[in-house]
Amino acid sequence: MITADTTGLTADSTHLRACGWTDGFADRSAPACIAFENVADSATLLSSSAAALTPVSRLQNEHVQRKWRGTAGDTEYLIADLGTAQDIDTVALMGLNLTRKAITRVRFSSADPSGAAGDLYDSGFSGSEVDEAYGMLVGLAPASVSARYVRIDLMETGRAYIEAGRLFVGKRYQFATNFAFGASRAWVDPSRRTIGRGGQTFIDRARMYRTVEVTFEALRASERIDFVERLDWLNGAHVDVLFVGNPLSLNPGRDSIWGLIDQVSPVLQPVGWLDGQPLYSKAYKISERL
């Protein structure tokens, strides 16, 4: 059952509802997050192994399908040296060829170049973090820490090789009130169909991708200043963002998307106030990057 949540809204703004349902996409107890400043792109990356034509530096390439591929079989690790201590709490690895059988581990370290110390954060070994339908590992630390080294361990028994296409390391921002009712997500199929002279239908198959559309109708002024307009300025519609629809999801790859904002929308001020301050609205449509 879907129920509206008007917690904290004044009588003047009870029409601004935070949506939420607990089957994955959203959860009222954990509003969506967005991360957009990728410190991994300026990091020094190391991997346990790499094929000659698929170096680990490919994880810094904006095209997810240009992948790093290891040669060590079913066990690999990645290390990102951020150069200096950075405030981070989020890691995402896109374009993975792993399945729900994989075992993963994410660690943040302050001074250990191997990342193995995990003195600032250690997820521990966990399974079912990667769904083969989405190919994403999303690691969310409970709090931001000042770390220099990030280590990701990847294992799946029997796999001939492990590969991935894009790495994100950074800080996420959580909305105070979740996105409104009417949010949508979809698979887009850009394949082309042609009808031949004999009436047959020919398919020029293309890789499918996902989209998500959400509107936040109760943005605080602090959110608008702290990260909403900063995201518009830094990333616009040309730099990738990580949208985490439900940070409590048991299938974070399904409920997160790495991609481009289709078009930068304006910040609107609806008829609504909270504690004497105006509430704003902002819409996002994000298309998955392949």
Among 229, 219, 226, 227, residue whose Cα is nearest residue 269: 219
Residue 219 included in any domain: yes
Domain that includes residue 264, residue range: 11-36+175-288
Between 149 and 274, the higher pLDDT residue = 149
Length of the chain: 290
109 and 138 fall within a common domain: yes
200 and 179 fall within a common domain: yes
Q: Residue 38 pLDDT > 80, yes or no?
A: yes
Residue 6 included in any domain: no
Residue where one domain finishes, among candidates 146, 170, 194:
170
119 and 234 fall within a common domain: no
Q: Residue 15 pLDDT > 70, yes or no?
A: no
Residue 144 included in any domain: yes
What pLDDT, on the 0 to 100 scale, is given for residue 26? 61
Contact 266, 225 (CB under 8 A): no
237 and 213 fall within a common domain: yes
End-to-end CA distance of the chain: 34
Between 270 and 54, the higher pLDDT residue = 54
Q: Residue 61 pLDDT > 60, yes or no?
A: yes
Residue where one domain finishes, among candidates 170, 196, 227:
170
Among 67, 94, 91, residue whose Cα is nearest residue 80: 91
Residue 241 included in any domain: yes
276 and 230 fall within a common domain: yes
What pLDDT, on the 0 to 100 scale, is given for residue 272? 86
188 and 114 fall within a common domain: no
Between 25 and 193, the higher pLDDT residue = 193
How many other C-beta atoms can be found within 10 angstroms of the C-beta atom of residue 112? 16
Residue where one domain finishes, among candidates 149, 170, 191:
170
Residue 15 included in any domain: yes
Q: Residue 23 pLDDT > 60, yes or no?
A: no
What pLDDT, on the 0 to 100 scale, is given for residue 78? 98
Report the percentage of the chain scoring pLDDT > 70.
90
What pLDDT, on the 0 to 100 scale, is given for residue 274? 86
Q: What backbone torsions phi and psi does residue 31 show, to the nearest 5 degrees?
A: -60, 160
CATH label of the domain that carries residue 87: 2.60.120.260
- Burial (CB count within 10 angstroms: exposed 0-12, middle 13-18, buried 19+), residue 74: middle
What pLDDT, on the 0 to 100 scale, is given for residue 276? 84
User: pLDDT by residue (tens digit) across 111-138?
Assistant: 999 999 999 999 999 998 999 999 999 9
Residue 217 included in any domain: yes
Residue 215 included in any domain: yes
How many other C-beta atoms can be found within 10 angstroms of the C-beta atom of residue 131? 18
263 and 235 fall within a common domain: yes
How many other C-beta atoms can be found within 10 angstroms of the C-beta atom of residue 271? 10
User: pLDDT by residue (tens digit) across 155-177?
Assistant: 999 999 999 999 999 999 999 99
103 and 69 fall within a common domain: yes
Annotate the chain with three-state secondary structure. Answer: CCCCECCCCCHHHCCCCECCCCCCCCCCCCCCEEECCCHHHHCEEEECCCCCCCCHHHHHCCCCCCCEECCCCCEEEEEEEEEEEEEEEEEEEECCCCCCCCEEEEEEECCCCCCCCCCCEECCCEECCCCCCCCEEEEEEEEEEEEEEEEEEEECCCCCCCEECEEEEECEEECCCCCCCCCEEEEECCCEEEECCCCCEEEECCCCEEEEEEEEEEECHHHHHHHHHHHHHHCCCCCCEEEECCCCCCCCCCCEEEEEECCCCCCECCCCEECCEECEEEEEEEEECC
142 and 154 fall within a common domain: yes
Number of domains the chain contains: 2
188 and 85 fall within a common domain: no
Residue 5 included in any domain: no
